[in-house]
Amino acid sequence: MKNDLFLLDPSIVFMNHGSFGACPRDVFDVYQNWQLEMERRPVEFLGRRSSSLLEGARKKLSEYLGADYKNLVFVTNTTTAINTIARSLKLEAGDEILTTDQEYGACDNAWNFVCSTWGAVYKPVHIPVPYPGDEIVLDIFLKTITPKTRIIYLSHITSTTALIFPIEAICRLARERGIITIIDGAHVPGHIPVHLEKLAADFYTGNCHKWLCAPKGSAFLYARPEHHETLHGLVISWGYSTGVTGHTSFDAYTGADTFIRRHQWQGTRDISAFLTVPAAIEFQEKHEWNMVRQRCHNLAIQTMHRFANLTRLPLSGPDNSFGQMVILPVPACDPELLKSTLYDKYKIEVPVTVFENQIFVRASFQEYNTEEDADTLIGALRDIFKLPSA
């Protein structure tokens, strides 16, 4: 691992950028400066300046994501955004939320909770691995839509299987049928390009703390204007009053925009991670991240092919269905033991996932990962599974 730009512990081979990201040194400095500034004048910072500071940061992020900045608000993480959307919906008994069987478990929990409240049906379609290709996946969706389908919810890049789903086509077919789309783009910002206004999903959320390398606790919620009135914060706060009772007002509590007013002020909290998002975008621009991303994608794909040549297990999908994260199918084993052995014995931080009884090592490749890291991972897996050397 090379470690000039990031703060990662060099004694660990870190191949799990996908779980919680990692923040570069320079970006982390900006983050800490915001925190210092807040502590020097807490009231000035949070009460008087936060609205305009956050607006500046939202504008920069919106520009990066091809969104109108009035349609986007910062949230702490994707889980919060999905909960915010799911818990604002007014469903009817029997309504169907069409999804896949490859969604992030915490968000599945949120949907199951909400569906049980309304008597609605959370309906996962099966997407096989090896990935059969975008056309077949679209066909699966088309065949599963019924007159009761109110919502299509799915990941843009999946967590367990690292696959890039054909979101543009799915949003288009949903729109043609008057179905609401909710896209979990937790892995997307900084990983693959997205233009939110062109995509025109009804709702979209993404993490800035993963592939954009912003500090932990920075994410966004995008909603098209027609949904602003019906979308309620998980925390009901000052943004819900027309005037401020018992206190003189702060700019942070008010504002003309319902969407921003309701979701931005969530009680006292540290907004430094949000304010650091522009620095993370500028950091990636400065370090020519388009080239970094391409190198990482190439290394990821090469690693996937090299490992498949050793195991003779089928590849999990076509090369262009993966970004900087790939899944390596491994022979049958205890997944927990595999994960702990890789970490304890080989000092490799890498997640082990399971889908349909197949166990995978999900390897992430970020700027700091080298060919040597790929060799280390393959060497360790060869050792553990007693695979031939070529």
Ligand X SMILES: Cc1ncc(COP(=O)(O)O)c(C=O)c1O
Under the rule (CB under 6 A), what is the footprint of ligand X?
19, 77-79, 104, 107, 155, 159, 184, 186-187, 207
**Could you tell me if 154 and 99 are in contact, meaning their C-beta atoms sit under 8 angstroms apart?**
yes
Question: Among positive and negative, which fits the CA dihedral 316, 319, 322, 324?
Answer: positive
CB 78 to ligand X: min, Å: 4
**Please, which residue, 36 or 106, has the CB nearer to ligand X?**
106
Structure tokens at 93: 């008994």
**Please, which residue, 184 or 349, has the CB nearer to ligand X?**
184
CB neighbour list of residue 37: distance below 8 Å, 6 or more residues apart = 45
CB 323 to ligand X: min, Å: 13
φ and ψ of 76, to 5 deg: -75, -35
To 5 degrees, how large is the angle CA 247–CA 249–CA 254?
Answer: 135
Tokens 């939202």 sit at which residue? 58
CB 58 to ligand X: min, Å: 18
Which has the closest alpha carbon to 318: 164, 116, 106? Answer: 164
**Please, which residue, 363 or 378, has the CB nearer to ligand X?**
363
CB 50 to ligand X: min, Å: 22
Please give the single-letter amino acid code of residue 201: A
CB 366 to ligand X: min, Å: 15
DSSP string, 11-48: TSEE--HHHH---BHHHHHHHHHHHHHHHHSHHIIIII
**Please, which residue, 99 or 207, has the CB nearer to ligand X?**
207
**Could you tell me if 377 and 350 are in contact, meaning their C-beta atoms sit under 8 angstroms apart?**
yes
φ and ψ of 388, to 5 deg: -65, 160
**Could you tell me if 107 and 87 are in contact, meaning their C-beta atoms sit under 8 angstroms apart?**
no
**Please, which residue, 261 or 317, has the CB nearer to ligand X?**
317
**Please, which residue, 191 or 297, has the CB nearer to ligand X?**
191
CA–CA gap between residue 19 and residue 342 (Å, rounded): 16
User: Which H or E run includes 203?
Assistant: strand 203-207
**Please, which residue, 158 or 264, has the CB nearer to ligand X?**
158
3-state secondary structure of 170: helix
CB 107 to ligand X: min, Å: 6
Q: Side by side, which strands form the sheet with 358-364?
A: 325-330, 358-364, 352-355
Q: Looking at residue 314, what DSSP letter applies? A: P
**Please, which residue, 79 or 369, has the CB nearer to ligand X?**
79
CB 248 to ligand X: min, Å: 35
**Please, which residue, 46 or 327, has the CB nearer to ligand X?**
327
CB 161 to ligand X: min, Å: 10
CB 105 to ligand X: min, Å: 9
